[in-house]
Structure 1
Amino acid sequence: MTVDQLRASLSQSAPPPGLAPLLEALWWEAKGNWHRAHEIAQAIDSRDAARVHAYLHRREGDAGNAAYWYRRAGLPPSHKPLDEEWREIAATLLRSESGPRS
């Protein structure tokens, strides 16, 4: 799956079958269900989950909480447009789903 295919799937009422949980979190956030996305990200303990969690709090407008989660992800806070950050995170997660990162 590509980022564009993931975005196109937003016209559906449910995420694509077999979508990894963090990609599902991004999917739900893009559909406007921030709380469902947050529940998914909060339940996972990994750097990728911390990155998604940071993005979600940034989207929410809570810069302080977002900064905490960026630190947990080992990243500086993002200042990119939110949609650009969403696409970047989705691309990273999709690459990790399809095999090891080089």
Structure 2
Amino acid sequence: MKKGMESVFSLMGQVPYDSFGKSHYICAKDKHKNKFMKEGDKRENIRPGLRVKIVLKEDQKSGKLTEGIVKDLLTNSSIHPHGIKVRLESGEVGRVKEIVK
């Protein structure tokens, strides 16, 4: 664990962090006020016609992002710690990592 992360780690209820200190999972008690949550993790932020960057299943290890326009939302829950799963107009399926402004 990184030095200085102890207090954040205990606040989040033993949530694992990546090398940048970002939360990979949302603690149930903090899921609506999690300061590490990204906008691509919330279904309310994603809609058809929106330009986004997603990570495809085969690109998860490399982290390569694919840009496109959302056709369908595939995740039913209101939040997902790894990003909302979408189908792009090109037919590619992946999890939203960024919303292109």
TM-score, normalization by structure 2: 0.32
Structure index of larger Rg: 2
Bigger fraction of residues in helix: 1
Q: Please, what TM-score do these two structures have when normalized by structure 1?
A: 0.32
Structure 1 or 2: more strand by fraction: 2
